[in-house]
Structure 1
Amino acid sequence: MPLSQSQTRDSANATGETLVGVPGQQLLRMTQFDPDSDEWPYWKKRLKNHLFLTKVPDAMQSSFLLDSLCPKSFTLPCKMCKPKEPMQMPIKELYEMLDAAYQESTFWIAQRIKFFSAKQKADETLVQFASELRSKVEHCDFPEDEQEKSLIAVFVMGMKDAVTRKVMSLKDFKTLNEALKEAKENETKRKELGIGIESESDHEVKKVRKWKGKKGMKGKRDQSHDKDECFRCGKSNHTSNECFFKEKECFNCGQRGHTARMCSNIGNKYVTVERDPYDVL
């Protein structure tokens, strides 16, 4: 049921908004623009949408915009358009004036570097990550037909779940929303199956553990995975008899004949070892 004029007025007062009179109707004014708390590009989009939905006549749009500025912002067009009055200016010119004052200067190369290096944070949901990318891409000056493709690529590359990222990199998505839907479905399935998210660091640890060989082995590592690898240092450009580390002591166990990162004399514990100073090959 439509609100009466008195109910509309009470609602407006409760939200800090006021009513603007338009011949034949009463319009609810937007919350005033405050540069200390609002971002001009997003507030401007809200205003345009509001003008469209409420069908404010073209002749009144400049006055509507000015009436929606806070006192501090209102002084700007008043000073800049002298000797004219700001309400006499077309709304397009008012937009340009306010753009110059409140639109942040951006350099598309720097913005693209930030955009392409974006990664999903540990406490960030997929929806939040996608929203952040949408915000970043606006400043990258991509051609219209390339923007959506770039969004999809960065979204997939930046996801924290390494398994989902690998699966989605093999698919062809048309829109970011399509990729987001797929990612959320994969995330839900993994939760239902009790499979946790595997980050890039977790994935790397698994690779290193497999590389070290079977747990509890003494002496040589299991070479069944890669016969061309030197079991002393892990490289494949020489044989174990030619290895530089053949007579070197291991920093992990003290025995001769292998590097610390190839050492399997550590019982059932897994130890992350920094690169050996001797490892120059």
Structure 2
Amino acid sequence: MAESGQMEKFDSKRDEWDSWSRRFDQWLSISSYATGDNAADKKRAVFCTLIGSDTFKLLCTLCTPKRPEEETYDDLRAKLSKQFGVKKLVLAERYRFYSYKQQDKQSLAAYLSELRRLASTCQWAEAALGENLRDKFVMGLRNERLLQQLLTQDHSKSLDDLFQLATTFEAAESEALKRSEGESQTSVTPINSGKHPRSKSRTEPPRKRTQQPSTGQFSKEQTRTNCASCGGNHARKSCRFYSAKCHKSHMISSCSHISVR
């Protein structure tokens, strides 16, 4: 980047000739090269220096059989403008203009600036340029709510009017969003507040205690269901085989060789 008061050299791989040459004229107008004795020679000399070595070689070829030093500044500039100037295809330039839309996170000012740059090669008259810029500014907006708001405006409003409305709308929407987020944060109880919330005790219903039979009941029931004489469901003392004796390994009730006392 050039220091203050200096002009960068032209680089055909980086710079557009039309833009650079116009900047050179602006820089030349505030420098000492455009005034005083031999101003024409000084303008030509500084021009040949700042176009860079590669472009100067090209200029020498374009001036053949003359040398650049024998030409005027205006003639030298005209030769390079013809060489670097690319004829724009108007329909293609307008297509690029109409196809452009506001990019993600692109501000309204940056969006409008890019539209102006694209429109500069569309060759519209001044009146048509302003109207087309205004219409395209609205059509290419990303914010749907803003788009709907601007579509309700009268068509007589200018680009500046709609741009002002758009910036006001976005500022108000941004402020409302900040307030909403602030209210949401204050309504939430902080986790690390220094106090531990009381945990709710989980009250479990009392368990039912199964009533155990008394010793007497248990013994009586066991006696009833386990008659040692016949295996029947009664007390052994009331069994008719209570006094029966058998030396075999089977139940007394099924024994045919028993003696009852």
2: distance between equivalents of 1:35 and 1:183? Answer: 39
Question: Are positions 1:134 and 2:111 aligned together?
Answer: no
Superposition deviation, residue 30 in structure 1: 0.8
8 A Cα contact 1:78 1:86, kept in partner: yes
- 2:105 corresponds to which residue? 123
- Taking only aligned residues, the RMSD between alpha carbons, in angstroms, comes to 2.5
Aligned to 1:104: 86
Q: 2:177 corresponds to which residue?
A: 194
Is 2:111 the partner of 1:93? no
User: What CA distance in whole angstroms lies between the structure 1 residues aligned with 2:87 and 2:81?
Assistant: 10
TM-score (norm 2): 0.58
Q: Distance in 2 between matches of 1:154 and 1:84?
A: 49
Q: Aligned residue for 2:191?
A: none
Q: CA 1:178–1:78 in 2, change beyond 3 Å: closer, same or farther?
A: farther
CA distance in 1, matches of 2:131, 2:44: 37
Quick check: 1:53 aligned with 2:53? no
| Number of equivalences | 171
Following superposition, the deviation at residue 177 of structure 1 comes to 4.9
Partner of 2:177, secondary structure, is: coil
Using a 3 Å threshold, how does the CA distance of structure 1 residues 29 and 128 change in structure 2: closer, same or farther? same
Q: 2:21 aligns with which of 44, 47, 51?
A: 44
CA contact (8 A) 1:111 1:140 kept: yes
Task: Indicate whether 1:144 and 2:114 are aligned.
Answer: no
Q: Say if 1:157 and 1:49 are closer, same or farther in 2 by CA, change over 3 A.
A: same
Structure 1 contact 61–91 (Cα < 8 Å) conserved? yes
Shift in CA distance, 144/64, structure 1 to aligned 2, threshold 3 Å? farther
The TM-score, its normalising length taken from structure 1, stands at 0.54
| Distance (Å, rounded) in 2 between the aligned partners of 1:47 and 1:102 | 16
Contact 1:29 1:68 in 2 (8 A): no
Identity %: 25
The 2-side partners of 1:62 and 1:180 are apart by 44
The residue aligned with 2:216 is none
Q: CA deviation at 1:186?
A: 1.6
Partners of 1:112 and 1:121 in 2: CA distance: 19
C-alpha separation between the residues in 1 aligned to 2:160 and 2:80? 32
Unpaired runs of 5+ in structure 2? Answer: 179-261
Aligned partners of 1:156 and 1:168 also within 8 Å: yes
Give, in angstroms, the shift of residue 28 of structure 1. Answer: 4.5
Shift of 1:182: 3.1
CA shift in 2, pair 1:90/1:130, >3 Å:
farther
Give the counterpart of 2:54 among 64, 68, 72: 72
CA-CA distance at 1:84 after TM superposition = 2.1
d(CA) in 2 for partners of 1:105 and 1:84?
Answer: 27
